[in-house]
Amino acid sequence: MLEKKHYEYREKIRAFALEKIEPLAKTLDLEQRFPYEHIKPLTEMGLLSCLIPKKYGGQPVDTISYSIAVEEISRVCGSTGIMIAAHNSLGTFPILRFGTEEQREKYLSRAAQGELLAFGLSEPDAGSDAGGTRTMAHKVDDGWVINGSKCWITSATVAFAVVATARTSDNPEDRRITSFILEKEWEGYSVGKKENKLGLRGSDTAFLHFDDLKVSEDSILGKEGEGFKQMLTTLDGGRISIGAMALGLAQGALDCALKYAADRVQFGKPIIYNQAIQHKLADMATEIEGARLMIYDSARRKDAGEDFVQQSAMCKLYASEVGRRAAASAMDILGGIGYYTGPYPAERIWRDVKLCEIGEGTSEIQRLVIAREMLKSLKEQR
């Protein structure tokens, strides 16, 4: 499945991640601060424009390469990994796929220059049930007036614009939803305080509030009423990148546990010579490889124009659960020192990887998507 170019790309991103991203990872987590220093090198490497065509200033790569990029960055820093995944898959993708030429030129060219885009779907009362959005856009003569809040939005404090959903019918029975592109500088757009989180503490997550935010017709992404479908399509692709993030974190846990097991001496020999430790490492490596193949297969299907809805839900579900297990095994292998903040990344990975089972649809929701797709193909066969 992988070509020579993918191996070369991995080597390039791995070297970049070790030189530029890893040295700051611990500090970002401890100080809970956004990696502003990473924006310029990430932009130059093309990691903030992985999906943006060259004509808008992007450095596009195929979806396997993009997955490799998210994986290798997350392998050393989950906070930077989620920032890249959210910006590319959730911020730039819907504009590229559903936007007008004017919108693409306006927003994608800025995104390719390192200005971040966010994705505003979740609300306090509409999480898994994103169709229950309460944010309302009321039609006025020359546009729309938007009121509502979006919660836990990745990079909300730094993003220059967000693709956000709102209901566009005053009729409570009518759940028609529309996507809008909203800019941070516009009157009525405000950002809540950065949330204090278990993990990914370098990533800024915050509420967005829209208070009589007046926008023109040009702010609608695609057509009125198509927002929900657009968001579902966006999430299908986004799940590959969250899978890749979980994979990178799992690989980071294995890297750490393997080195530690080879160095740590107890009972007169490195602990890796105990079969119980070897089995843990072998299980981690085997599951990680399985997750990797699933992610690359989903990526390949996406680029080939094949149906990949079920596969992307499966790879996200599997990789995030593999990530949780790998992080827990790494903590086991490190013993007491694994529990301490700082010396080794195992505990940070353990905290960071949990998000992968929540964001872009929880594991329960992935199982619903997978089962729905299976039922659909059964019905088609009958």
CA 74 – CA 349 distance, rounded (Å): 9
Q: Is residue 362 a contact residue for ligand FAD (CB under 6 A)?
A: yes
Q: Report the nearest approach of ligand FAD to the CB of residue 122 (Å).
A: 3
Tokens of 78: 């989950």
Closest residue to ligand FAD, based on beta-carbon distance: 127
CB under 6 A: which stretch of 176-184, 236-244, 322-330, 358-366 binds ligand FAD? 358-366
Minimum CB separation of residue 121 from ligand FAD in Å reads 3
Q: Is 224 a catalytic residue?
A: no
Considering only the stretches 46-54, 214-222, 314-322, 364-372, report the one whose residues sit in contact with ligand FAD under the rule CB under 6 A.
364-372
Q: Which is nearer to ligand FAD, 313 or 333 (CB)?
A: 313
Query: 119, 144, 296, 308: which one contacts ligand FAD (CB under 6 A)?
Result: 119
| Least CB distance to ligand FAD at residue 115 (A) | 16
Q: How many residues bind ligand FAD (CB under 6 A)?
A: 22
Give ∠ CA 155-50-93 in degrees, rounded to 5.
Answer: 65
Note whether 63 binds ligand FAD by CB under 6 A. Answer: no
Q: Does the protein bind ligand FAD through residue 180 (CB under 6 A)?
A: no
Query: Residue 254, class by beta-carbon neighbours within 10 Å (0-12 exposed, 13-18 middle, 19+ buried)?
Result: buried
Q: Which is nearer to ligand FAD, 47 or 64 (CB)?
A: 47
C-alpha–C-alpha distance, residues 377 and 372, integer Å: 9
| Per CB under 6 A, 41 contacts ligand FAD | no
For the packed helices 227-263 and 346-353, what is the interaxial angle rounded to 10 degrees? 160
Q: Which of 101, 224, 360, 373 is catalytic?
A: 360
Stretch that binds ligand FAD, among 18-26, 120-128, 250-258, 298-306 (CB under 6 A): 120-128
List 118's β-bridge partners, or say none: 162
Q: Is 200 in the site for ligand FAD (CB under 6 A)?
A: yes
Which of 152, 228, 296, 318 is the binder for ligand FAD (CB under 6 A)?
Answer: 152
CB 159 within 8 A of CB 188: no
DSSP result, 57-121: T-----HHHHHHHHHHHHHH-HHHHHHHHIIIIIIIHHHHHH--HHHIIIIIHHHHTT--EEEE-
State yes or no: residue 153 binds ligand FAD (CB under 6 A). Answer: yes
The closest of 139, 170, 162, 141 to 209, measured between CA atoms, is 162
Indicate the residue among 235 and 271 with the shorter CB distance to ligand FAD.
235
1 in Cβ contact with 300 (< 8 Å): yes
Please tell me whether residue 365 binds ligand FAD under the rule CB under 6 A: yes
Which amino acid, 150?
Answer: K
The candidate with the shortest Cα–Cα distance to 74, out of 63, 86, 62, 60, is: 86
Cα 68–Cα 74–Cα 78 angle in degrees, nearest 5: 155
CA distances from 185 to 160, 188, 189, 221 (A): 8, 9, 7, 18
Q: Which of 355, 356, 366, 369 binds ligand FAD (CB under 6 A)?
A: 355
Helices (H) and strands (E) in the chain, counts: 13, 9
- Residue 230 near ligand FAD by CB under 6 A: no
Min dist CB 78 to ligand FAD, Å, is 10
Residue for token pair 């611990």: 26
Stretch that binds ligand FAD, among 149-157, 178-186, 294-302, 305-313 (CB under 6 A): 149-157
CB of 241 to ligand FAD, least distance (A): 12
Can you point out the beta strands (E) in 216-364?
A: 265-266, 269-270
The only residue of 5, 30, 40, 128 in contact with ligand FAD, by rule CB under 6 A: 128
Q: How far is the CB of 83 from ligand FAD (least distance, A)?
A: 10
Name which position in 41, 53, 57, 127 contacts ligand FAD (CB under 6 A): 127
Q: Which residues bind ligand FAD (CB under 6 A)?
A: 86, 119-122, 127-128, 152-154, 197, 200, 205, 355, 358-362, 364-365, 368
Active site residues: 360
